[in-house]
Amino acid sequence: MGKEHWLKRHLIPILTLLFVIAISVGIFYFYRSYPERIEALEGYGYLGVFLISLTFNATVILPAGNILLISAFGAILPSAILVGLAGGAGAAIGEITGYMVGYSGRGVVERVKLYNRLVEWLKRWGALAIFILALVPFFFDLAGIAAGVLRFPLWKFILACWLGRTILYIVAALAGAWGWETVLPHLG
């Protein structure tokens, strides 16, 4: 029993964290070394949108340029709604890495004030907080980490993330389809 407890309590979280770090470093290296491969995904249409969204949401190292790419795809592809749906699905799956970091242990971010605030929001509002935070293009990885720490049910996390990111990406794709010149004057 003692050995099983040690494995569950220490080794599995460490291996999970190392796995997520390996994914992040791998994606970052691939993106920096072969940016033309990411650009080549444009030729794959909606599958390309899904893969780019998955890639950019699977790591916190890459910049938040995925909104601009989603917007560009909205201008290029026939259906901005399908761009948003494909991007939202990729984002929900990609955000599992942040959830896994939190599930493996909270030591990495527990001193960050924003993280502590997100933990309180998740405790209070649950899936609604995840949904609302997924509508915001930045810092969602902290919400994923908080959800993992709190052992929030993974299926609820994915569903709320998918709904929020899909709405965000549909809006970004529609903005691209309509053209920023049309959208920006209405934003003030």
Query: Residue 183: is it exposed, middle or buried by C-beta count within 10 angstroms (0-12/13-18/19+)?
Result: middle
CA–CA separation, 97 and 21 (whole Å): 9
Q: Quick one: 75 exposed, middle or buried, by C-beta within 10 A (0-12, 13-18, 19+)?
A: middle
Helix axes 46-57, 154-178, angle to 10 degrees: 120
- pLDDT surpasses 80 at 22: no
Task: Tell me the pLDDT tens digit for each residue of 131-177.
Answer: 998 988 777 888 888 898 888 999 999 999 999 999 999 998 998 88
The tens digit of pLDDT for each residue in 175-188 reads 888 875 565 566 55
The type of residue at 93 is I
For the chain, give the mean pLDDT.
78
What confidence category does residue 130 fall into, taking pLDDT thresholds of 50, 70 and 90?
very high
Domain boundaries, the chain: 2-179
Helices (H), 34-139: 35-40, 46-57, 66-76, 80-94, 96-104, 113-125, 127-134
Question: What are the tens digits of pLDDT across the range 64-95?
Answer: 567 878 888 888 888 999 999 999 999 999 98
